[in-house]
Amino acid sequence: MKNYIKENQKLPLFGIGPYLIVSFVLMTVLGIVVFHYILRIGIIGGIWIYIFRTVGAVFIVSGGLIWFIGALGSNMDNNIANNTLKTDGIYAWVRNPMYSGLWILLFGTILMWHNIWLLVIPVINWLILTIVLINTEEKWLADLYGKEYEDYRKHVNRCVPFKRH
Protein backbone atom coordinates (compact mmCIF):
# COMPACT_ATOMS: atom_id res chain seq x y z
CA MET A 1 0.00 0.00 0.00
CA LYS A 2 1.50 3.30 -1.10
CA ASN A 3 1.77 5.69 1.86
CA TYR A 4 2.91 8.77 -0.09
CA ILE A 5 1.52 10.56 -3.13
CA LYS A 6 4.36 13.02 -3.75
CA GLU A 7 8.06 12.78 -3.07
CA ASN A 8 8.19 15.98 -0.97
CA GLN A 9 5.16 15.02 1.09
CA LYS A 10 5.88 15.53 4.80
CA LEU A 11 3.14 13.35 6.35
CA PRO A 12 2.25 9.74 5.52
CA LEU A 13 -1.02 9.28 3.68
CA PHE A 14 -2.38 6.74 6.18
CA GLY A 15 -0.43 7.51 9.37
CA ILE A 16 -1.32 5.18 12.21
CA GLY A 17 -4.92 4.85 11.05
CA PRO A 18 -4.89 1.27 9.75
CA TYR A 19 -3.41 0.00 13.03
CA LEU A 20 -5.99 1.84 15.14
CA ILE A 21 -8.87 0.73 12.93
CA VAL A 22 -7.84 -2.93 13.02
CA SER A 23 -7.36 -2.84 16.80
CA PHE A 24 -10.77 -1.21 17.38
CA VAL A 25 -12.58 -3.67 15.13
CA LEU A 26 -10.79 -6.65 16.70
CA MET A 27 -11.52 -5.44 20.24
CA THR A 28 -15.19 -4.92 19.36
CA VAL A 29 -15.57 -8.35 17.75
CA LEU A 30 -13.69 -10.03 20.59
CA GLY A 31 -15.89 -8.28 23.16
CA ILE A 32 -19.08 -9.33 21.38
CA VAL A 33 -17.92 -12.94 21.16
CA VAL A 34 -16.72 -13.13 24.78
CA PHE A 35 -19.50 -11.25 26.58
CA HIS A 36 -22.48 -12.12 24.43
CA TYR A 37 -21.75 -15.62 23.18
CA ILE A 38 -19.21 -17.26 25.52
CA LEU A 39 -19.86 -15.75 28.96
CA ARG A 40 -23.44 -14.74 28.13
CA ILE A 41 -23.41 -11.99 30.76
CA GLY A 42 -24.85 -8.48 30.64
CA ILE A 43 -27.51 -9.27 28.05
CA ILE A 44 -30.60 -7.16 28.61
CA GLY A 45 -34.02 -7.95 27.24
CA GLY A 46 -37.53 -6.62 26.94
CA ILE A 47 -38.12 -3.22 25.43
CA TRP A 48 -34.42 -2.43 25.90
CA ILE A 49 -33.56 -4.65 22.94
CA TYR A 50 -35.51 -2.33 20.63
CA ILE A 51 -34.17 0.83 22.25
CA PHE A 52 -30.55 -0.36 22.01
CA ARG A 53 -31.00 -1.49 18.41
CA THR A 54 -32.75 1.70 17.30
CA VAL A 55 -30.12 3.92 18.89
CA GLY A 56 -27.43 1.57 17.53
CA ALA A 57 -28.76 1.94 13.99
CA VAL A 58 -28.66 5.74 14.30
CA PHE A 59 -25.04 5.58 15.49
CA ILE A 60 -24.06 3.17 12.71
CA VAL A 61 -25.52 5.40 9.99
CA SER A 62 -24.11 8.58 11.57
CA GLY A 63 -20.66 7.06 12.03
CA GLY A 64 -20.64 5.73 8.49
CA LEU A 65 -21.55 9.15 7.10
CA ILE A 66 -18.91 10.93 9.18
CA TRP A 67 -16.27 8.42 8.11
CA PHE A 68 -17.33 8.63 4.44
CA ILE A 69 -17.28 12.43 4.36
CA GLY A 70 -13.88 12.55 6.10
CA ALA A 71 -12.28 9.78 4.06
CA LEU A 72 -13.78 10.07 0.60
CA GLY A 73 -15.70 13.34 0.48
CA SER A 74 -13.10 15.76 1.80
CA ASN A 75 -10.25 15.57 -0.71
CA MET A 76 -7.87 15.08 2.23
CA ASP A 77 -5.32 13.22 0.10
CA ASN A 78 -4.52 16.45 -1.77
CA ASN A 79 -3.98 18.36 1.47
CA ILE A 80 -1.60 15.67 2.70
CA ALA A 81 0.26 15.56 -0.61
CA ASN A 82 0.58 19.36 -0.69
CA ASN A 83 1.47 19.67 3.02
CA THR A 84 -1.51 21.91 3.81
CA LEU A 85 -3.68 21.73 6.92
CA LYS A 86 -7.28 20.74 6.22
CA THR A 87 -9.65 22.94 8.26
CA ASP A 88 -12.80 23.22 6.16
CA GLY A 89 -15.76 20.95 5.51
CA ILE A 90 -16.11 18.19 8.08
CA TYR A 91 -12.67 19.15 9.41
CA ALA A 92 -14.23 22.40 10.70
CA TRP A 93 -16.39 20.19 12.95
CA VAL A 94 -13.94 17.49 14.06
CA ARG A 95 -10.17 17.08 13.64
CA ASN A 96 -10.31 13.32 13.07
CA PRO A 97 -13.55 12.46 11.26
CA MET A 98 -12.34 9.08 10.02
CA TYR A 99 -11.46 7.88 13.52
CA SER A 100 -14.58 9.50 14.97
CA GLY A 101 -16.82 7.98 12.34
CA LEU A 102 -15.40 4.52 12.90
CA TRP A 103 -15.65 4.87 16.69
CA ILE A 104 -19.30 6.01 16.43
CA LEU A 105 -20.10 3.19 13.96
CA LEU A 106 -18.55 0.57 16.26
CA PHE A 107 -20.42 2.02 19.24
CA GLY A 108 -23.64 1.56 17.28
CA THR A 109 -22.62 -1.99 16.42
CA ILE A 110 -22.07 -2.75 20.11
CA LEU A 111 -25.54 -1.40 20.93
CA MET A 112 -27.06 -3.91 18.50
CA TRP A 113 -26.09 -6.72 20.88
CA HIS A 114 -27.99 -5.06 23.79
CA ASN A 115 -25.32 -6.14 26.25
CA ILE A 116 -24.44 -3.78 29.09
CA TRP A 117 -20.91 -5.23 29.53
CA LEU A 118 -20.00 -4.34 25.95
CA LEU A 119 -20.35 -0.64 26.78
CA VAL A 120 -16.88 -0.72 28.35
CA ILE A 121 -15.31 -1.36 24.92
CA PRO A 122 -16.06 2.10 23.44
CA VAL A 123 -14.58 3.69 26.56
CA ILE A 124 -11.38 1.64 26.17
CA ASN A 125 -11.25 2.41 22.43
CA TRP A 126 -11.78 6.12 23.19
CA LEU A 127 -8.92 6.16 25.70
CA ILE A 128 -6.61 4.36 23.29
CA LEU A 129 -7.58 6.70 20.47
CA THR A 130 -6.97 9.79 22.57
CA ILE A 131 -3.61 8.63 23.92
CA VAL A 132 -2.34 7.45 20.54
CA LEU A 133 -3.45 10.60 18.68
CA ILE A 134 -1.91 12.93 21.28
CA ASN A 135 1.39 11.06 21.08
CA THR A 136 1.59 10.61 17.30
CA GLU A 137 -0.48 12.50 14.75
CA GLU A 138 -1.04 15.59 16.87
CA LYS A 139 2.70 15.90 17.46
CA TRP A 140 3.39 15.45 13.74
CA LEU A 141 0.85 18.14 12.86
CA ALA A 142 2.09 20.55 15.54
CA ASP A 143 5.67 20.12 14.28
CA LEU A 144 4.64 20.63 10.66
CA TYR A 145 2.08 23.45 10.98
CA GLY A 146 3.03 25.13 14.29
CA LYS A 147 0.75 27.99 15.34
CA GLU A 148 -1.74 27.27 12.55
CA TYR A 149 -2.37 23.81 14.01
CA GLU A 150 -2.42 25.10 17.61
CA ASP A 151 -5.13 27.63 16.69
CA TYR A 152 -7.09 24.94 14.82
CA ARG A 153 -6.78 22.59 17.79
CA LYS A 154 -8.24 25.24 20.11
CA HIS A 155 -11.37 25.60 17.97
CA VAL A 156 -12.09 22.07 16.74
CA ASN A 157 -12.58 18.96 18.86
CA ARG A 158 -10.34 15.94 18.45
CA CYS A 159 -13.06 13.31 18.08
CA VAL A 160 -16.54 14.65 18.97
CA PRO A 161 -18.06 16.33 15.93
CA PHE A 162 -19.74 19.60 16.83
CA LYS A 163 -19.31 23.21 15.85
CA ARG A 164 -17.64 25.42 18.47
CA HIS A 165 -18.26 29.14 18.53
pLDDT tens string for the chain (165 positions)?
Answer: 445 555 665 666 567 888 899 999 999 999 999 999 999 999 999 999 999 999 999 999 999 999 999 988 888 878 877 888 999 999 999 999 999 999 999 999 999 999 999 999 999 999 999 999 999 989 989 999 999 999 999 999 998 887 765
3-state secondary structure the chain: CCCCCCCCCCCCCCCCHHHHHHHHHHHHHHHHHHHHHHCCCCECCCHHHHHHHHHHHHHHHHHHHHHHHHHCCCCHHHHHHCCCCCCCHHHHCECCHHHHHHHHHHHHHHHCCCEHHHHHHHHHHHHHHHHHHHHCHHHHHHHHHCHHHHHHHHHCECCCCCCCC
User: Residue 75's pLDDT is what?
Assistant: 84
User: Residue 88's pLDDT is what?
Assistant: 92
pTM of the model: 0.88
The full set of domain ranges for the chain reads 17-155
User: Residue 30's pLDDT is what?
Assistant: 97
